[in-house]
Structure 1
């Protein structure tokens, strides 16, 4: 095991109103961040291609440090690595965007937003690696955050070599391995589908392998496929969406998540059943909260247009705040401990053994609402033998 105890934390003045790690890294945007400990000293780690980035924060400061795969012979290479990490952090969290200014604008435009802006401060969009973002959201079809996280980590562990391992910050006797995200070339191999099925990916295994294969065959192996996806950042929203929809298992919802979360299309609002319910509940869209309405392309576009009209050019960012605030997993987020007890929903009476047996949900077919996310955790996609055209916006 390597020794990293001498790697110092670096600091960046950044209030939690601009970035709240506990919300941004746990609300279903990215699935590879590992968390250790608990607030207010919780740490977050992410393995990149050549390093592990570690983060923590207090109310006024973001702390970061860079762990490289090999101990550095002098302080200079470590200083250079920390400087590179700072550049990456500013890009990944899009810190050039003044989030407090956006919150103020949304609060003026939207009374619903104004009622939650203080409690759910600091929720911003990540600017992720497009290929990782794409594959992660293909995994999200009819799934929940916990299971997606396990799948994505299994993908990395199986298809990427170990970069480094180090002690768990919460339990130094436990060693934690770190694997980067695999490349399109690796996931395009013909035997990937069968292996992923063995790992529990189900029908998503075929989508992942075929999408990687299509990217490599069309745009080249090595880093060429990844450069193609990153290049969509400069394309129009319509053109970039059209390219994504060509890929296996990518429907309008997955495409819109990738557009928003890695391709700089800030105005895009990904729509699923959960977002549909928010639009009905708060924004005057016609419909019933108790009925299951098929998510047609027409309805999807209607919801998207309505919410963009409410929130403006950064509508996708505002959507993420509203979405997070509506999740049961965040029911006590930003609530003082004394008030948190009252914020929790009252549990239903324990059913009798007979009722428990007859009414128990099938865990393999349902997702926890606590783990709802903006991909399709409440949806049941209709699988077809041919390439699905919209696997992530089918009604639940």
Structure 2
């Protein structure tokens, strides 16, 4: 689902269909990508990534073919045929067809499990600029520098968060979420194979286990499963998604269980990406946001 066009001067040029960085990085699934001077700059998998894209052709700077194929093919979900997915969803109804056209370059990233877990604990009752700010502060305070001369830091590992005092965590201005971060990290340190255990379980059992962690409710659990790439049928429901589905499909207020059951039945195996298309479209068009 991608084609390497050239590798020159430690820059890699790759043709990637169905990928628009703005759509992918601004649809609410990640928090450490920013646009600067025409480049998209992100920190993921403990590495700094710089890329630019034009009409489906992307240049990855300071990257060779081996690194790209070992790490970033999976991260950007480049072995999934999004063209076929979009065709299937577009046939469902006019709302989805318009949503797919509007966010045609969205790809579901396969992100680090623990970074997603703590990032979405931070996301509760929060806005994206503030979420990004708290994550950057946490990373600078407890993460490892990307290199010796760098002022950029990777996301902290679980043990760094577990052994940090609540007072030190609170410097990052996460409010009540800092206690959840601390308590969940302490629990995870005692369960070092937690991620492997989650990956070995069916979706229902995996979700139940996630819900045992402090600060993780149904929405955060679904975000962890979806954005870590564990379960693409997960359908996270926050107040915005709830309003969008109510506005487009029910025309009345509806409870979350009814929405979740509807998504499972109607969107099926593509529930996760359908949620992203609809949310991105509705947010941009202010549908259900009034």
Q: Normalised by the size of structure 2, how large is the TM-score? A: 0.89
- Residue from 198, 206, 215 that aligns with 2:171: 198
The whole-number CA distance in structure 1 between the counterparts of 2:244 and 2:219 is: 16
SS of 2:151's equivalent?
A: strand
Contact 1:184 1:212 (8 Å CA) reproduced: yes
How far the C-alpha of 1:230 sits from its partner, in A, is: 4.7
Summarize deviations over 1:110-144 as a string: whole Å, max 9, x none: 22111232232111211110100000000001100
1:184 aligns with 2:158: yes
The whole-number CA distance in structure 1 between the counterparts of 2:80 and 2:205 is: 25
How far the C-alpha of 1:263 sits from its partner, in A, is: 4.2
1:276 aligns with 2:249: no
Paired position in structure 2 for 1:321: 277
How far the C-alpha of 1:273 sits from its partner, in A, is: 1.5
1:26 aligns with 2:23: no
Kindly tell me: are residues 285 and 87 of structure 1, through their superposed partners in 2, closer, same or farther at Cα, counting changes over 3 Å? farther
- Residue from 61, 67, 73 that aligns with 1:65: 61
How far the C-alpha of 1:87 sits from its partner, in A, is: 2.6
Contact 1:46 1:52 (8 Å CA) reproduced: yes
Contact 1:103 1:117 (8 Å CA) reproduced: yes
Contact 1:34 1:46 (8 Å CA) reproduced: no
Summarize deviations over 1:296-332 as a string: whole Å, max 9, x none: xxx22211111222212111111111001111xx35x
Aligned residue runs from structure 1 range 159-170, under 5 A? 159-164=142-147
The whole-number CA distance in structure 2 between the counterparts of 1:214 and 1:125 is: 28
Q: Normalised by the size of structure 1, how large is the TM-score? A: 0.66
Paired position in structure 2 for 1:8: 10
Aligned residue runs from structure 1 range 351-362, under 5 A? none
Contact 1:207 1:248 (8 Å CA) reproduced: yes
Root mean square deviation, CA, Å: 2.4
The whole-number CA distance in structure 2 between the counterparts of 1:124 and 1:286 is: 30
The whole-number CA distance in structure 1 between the counterparts of 2:44 and 2:238 is: 30
Kindly tell me: are residues 136 and 105 of structure 1, through their superposed partners in 2, closer, same or farther at Cα, counting changes over 3 Å? same
Question: How many pairs does the alignment contain?
Answer: 282
Deviates more, 1:150-159 or 1:111-120: 111-120
1:112 aligns with 2:78: no
How far the C-alpha of 1:234 sits from its partner, in A, is: 3.4
SS of 1:200's equivalent?
A: coil
Kindly tell me: are residues 216 and 84 of structure 1, through their superposed partners in 2, closer, same or farther at Cα, counting changes over 3 Å? same
Paired position in structure 2 for 1:208: 181
Task: Tell me which protein shows more helix as a share of its residues.
Answer: 2
Kindly tell me: are residues 285 and 245 of structure 1, through their superposed partners in 2, closer, same or farther at Cα, counting changes over 3 Å? farther
- Residue from 135, 138, 142 that aligns with 2:121: 138
Kindly tell me: are residues 181 and 7 of structure 1, through their superposed partners in 2, closer, same or farther at Cα, counting changes over 3 Å? farther
1:45 aligns with 2:42: yes
Aligned residue runs from structure 1 range 208-357, under 5 A? 208-217=181-190, 219=191, 225=192, 227-284=193-250, 286-287=252-253, 299-327=255-283, 330-331=284-285
The whole-number CA distance in structure 1 between the counterparts of 2:240 and 2:58 is: 32
Paired position in structure 1 for 2:5: none
Give 1 or 2 for the bigger CA radius of gyration: 1
Summarize deviations over 1:175-211 as a string: whole Å, max 9, x none: x7211111111100151x2112233111001000110
How far the C-alpha of 1:43 sits from its partner, in A, is: 2.5
The whole-number CA distance in structure 2 between the counterparts of 1:47 and 1:133 is: 11
Deviates more, 1:90-99 or 1:204-213: 90-99
SS of 2:50's equivalent?
A: strand
Paired position in structure 2 for 1:55: 51
Kindly tell me: are residues 279 and 158 of structure 1, through their superposed partners in 2, closer, same or farther at Cα, counting changes over 3 Å? same
Kindly tell me: are residues 154 and 280 of structure 1, through their superposed partners in 2, closer, same or farther at Cα, counting changes over 3 Å? same
SS of 2:100's equivalent?
A: coil
How far the C-alpha of 1:231 sits from its partner, in A, is: 4.5
Contact 2:109 2:229 (8 Å CA) reproduced: no
